[in-house]
Amino acid sequence: TSIKYYVPISEVYDVIRITHFNIGHHGIKYTLKEILKKCANITEKQVKLFISECNECKIKRAKPKDSSKLVVSPIISNDFHSRGQVDLIDMQSSPDGKFKFVLNYQDHFTKFCILRPLKSKTAADVAYNLLDIFTTFRAPAILQSDNGREFVAKVIEELALIWKDLKIIHGKPRHPQSQGSVERSNQDTKQLLGRWIRENNSNKWTEGLRFVKFQKNSCFHRVLNNSPYAVLFGNQPKLGLSSTCLHPSIFNDITTEEELTKMN
């Protein structure tokens, strides 16, 4: 059983704020779920009050919701990296130096995503970045994209030129209505990136991609009933001593392993 600590009243706000920000401004349920992993006395009422006053969440609630609720049969994958999805997010309206696009790659089975900045949307540039992903996690048998089969075919051709032993096929055409789920995933990435930019007062979105990727992979996913990170690696992501049962007032003063050993 994990050890939980009682948060002093003076620190409740900061605990909720940091947790809520770290998980990408998700709702009351997920924020409270994350807090209760370590804290014993923070309530749903307190979390609800904080989120009701959160400026980023107010912006999100003010946006009109898509009223077209379409039920579409999902594409099923039964193994990690048996099917991969690669899409491009257009950032040309706010380039970061030479970078104008975001490569959004997602494994269908675990929902684990990887985000990379791109200078162009050419098949060669996409293939070069996918190669790094595939040599780290392994390559999928099927690759598909919301950008169309022709785009995927060119990417696969480029990959074959670099990696002679690699054999990937492109997925079957997607039902037009099923594109909504892909668009929502890409939109979610853009929203999280926008929040990172505002919270850090920085236009260097290429740096923010790493943190957005971590947020997306760390958050609870309804379909998985877990986080993509936990499904892939078998345990929840850690933030060093921040993920231990130690109270922040203790680990904030620790700088060496010797000091940590004395705590045991």
**pLDDT tens string 109-152:** 899 999 999 999 999 999 999 999 999 998 999 999 888 888 99
CB 141 within 8 A of CB 171: no
pLDDT at 201: 93
Mean pLDDT comparison of 3-7, 30-34, 214-218, 245-249, highest-scoring range: 214-218
- pTM for this entry: 0.73
User: Which domains are assigned to the chain?
Assistant: 1-60 (no CATH), 83-232 (3.30.420.10)
To the nearest whole percent, how much of the chain has pLDDT over 90? Answer: 37
Q: Worst-scoring range by mean pLDDT, 27-31, 138-142, 260-264?
A: 260-264
Q: Worst-scoring range by mean pLDDT, 23-32, 54-63, 222-231, 252-261?
A: 54-63
Please state at what angle helix 179-200 crosses helix 205-218, rounded to 10 degrees.
120
CA atoms within 13 A on the CB side of 79: 8
pLDDT at 73: 44
pLDDT tens-digit series, residues 218-256: 888 878 888 898 898 888 888 887 777 666 767 777 888
Better-predicted residue by pLDDT, 104 or 174: 104
CB 241 within 8 A of CB 250: no
Spatial CA neighbour of 178 closest among 82, 69, 73: 73
